Chain A
Amino acid sequence: NAGVTQTPKFQVLKTGQSMTLQCAQDMNHEYMSWYRQDPGMGLRLIHYSVGAGITDQGEVPNGYNVSRSTTEDFPLRLLSAAPSQTSVYFCASSYRDREQFFGPGTRLTVL
């Protein structure tokens, strides 16, 4: 099993550009989530999904969009990038409320 995979590993964007962070898991997990990690603030939940076709907002959803068309994939879209979205983004998955597994992260810089 590859576990949770994320692409790209690094990305630099200009203000106003859009992009999609990819996340995939091969463990047949129902639950998937996106977090961002900023210095001194810990990880914060952006969006989450409890199954294909079902998504909901977390603590910091503004500026991000998600969809879940398959169990395996949960992409995160930045609609119009802003410098405040410079962060490290982590995707995670779990079987319901069990142990959560994290991907290696995407380091995003918005200039």
Chain B
Amino acid sequence: KQEVTQIPAALSVPEGENLVLNCSFTDSAIYNLQWFRQDPGKGLTSLLLIQSSQREQTSGRLNASLDKSSGRSTLYIAASQPGDSATYLCAVNAGANNLFFGTGTRLTVIP
């Protein structure tokens, strides 16, 4: 069974800092990996999708990388802002869009 781990569980940074969130998974046979953002009491918002054949994907201040062979992905957030405060979830697609989720990293950006 696919296991997904996210480290750290919580992170607090001052505004403007660049930061990296980590995600690791145990089975490298994946279709793709998706990063989500979740605000308290809300649903999930898709941030980036990386296909298994890709190494990285960028959207604005966000950059996600994927190293399938080592079972790792990172989400890089540049020039963090207070509005980036949320929980970030990593999910691995094992096929038929069955997603296995990590427990998330709770990010707080301090003004």
Contacts and interface: CB of A to CB of B under 8 A. Distances in A.
The interface size bin for chain A is 20 to 34
A47 to B, nearest CB: 10
A50 interface: yes
Interface string B77-104: 0000000000001010101111111111
Contacts of A42: 4, 89, 101-104
B65 interface: no
Interface stretch (A12-20, A68-76, A79-87, A89-97): A89-97
The interface size bin for chain B is 20 to 34
Nearest to B48: A99
B32 interface: yes
Interface in A88-111: 90, 92, 94, 96-105
10 contacts: A42-B104, A43-B44, A43-B101, A59-B1, A92-B97, A92-B99, A97-B95, A98-B49, A102-B36, A105-B43
